Amino acid sequence: MDYKEEQTQELEVLKSIYPDELEEIAEDEFRIILEPEEQDIDAPLTVALRIKFTPTYPESFPEISIERIKGELSDAEQDEFLNGLLKVVEGSLGMPIGFDLATSLKDMLTSYVVENKEKRRLEVEERLRREIEAEESKFQGTKVTVASFLEWKARFDQELFEKEEAARGSAAIRREETRKQKPTGEFKEENATSR
């Protein structure tokens, strides 16, 4: 089996499928620039699938890696994509798999972007719901239950009683002061002698 010839043929097929996306790095190494089917305008994502043929490829696994070109993608997320690609490789030993790897990665990217968009949408909805609830709570009074009403009524009655007691006490003091100041009709001598 002529491995080099098979590798050259696969590379030519991939160039025809990805004329603008495939970039040759070396004789046995290339990368394909991939974007998800559904791109997120707020967080666009572009990656490169890098494939290096081993001397006995396709009878042995190629070396593959993922490079982030544009957008946010953590190392853990890149590793997750790479693990998904390794499963594709394991099931296709002995066959050309460049196209399968590229389409699998594109599918994984699309799922990733769709899930993240949905997650962000739900986070925005939740934040808006909390803001609306906080705003509405400004216009709501305290919810009244039988127990809370009876508690309030007892406090109100106590305050009313205390105010009435204070009012009676001050009224009694005013009456006493007024009584002391009223002329009684008694004649005091000091007033009489000064006349």
pLDDT at 143 (0 to 100): 81
Beta bridge partners of 52: 29, 63
Of the candidate CATH numbers 3.30.465.10, 3.40.640.10, 3.10.110.10, 3.30.70.360, the domain formed by 3-119 belongs to 3.10.110.10
Q: How many H-runs (helices) and E-runs (strands) does the chain carry?
A: 5, 4
Q: How would you write 130-152 as a 3-class SS string?
A: HHHHHHHHCCCCCCCCHHHHHHH
User: Which pTM value belongs to this model?
Assistant: 0.63
Sequence-separated (6 or more) residues with CB below 8 Å from residue 42: 120
pLDDT digits (tens, 9 = 90+) for 108-160: 999 999 998 898 889 999 999 999 888 887 777 778 899 888 999 999 999 99
Pull the structure tokens for residue 70. 């544009």
Contact 10, 16 (CB under 8 A): no
Which of these, 57, 68, 66, lies nearest to 9 by C-alpha position? 57
Compute the residue count for the chain: 195
- What does the domain layout of the chain look like in residue ranges? 3-119, 142-181
pLDDT grade for 1, boundaries at 50, 70 and 90: low
> What is the predicted pLDDT for the residue at 183?
66
Which of the two residues, 106 and 42, has the higher pLDDT score?
106
pLDDT tens digit sequence for 15-59: 999 999 999 999 899 999 999 988 888 788 999 999 999 999 989
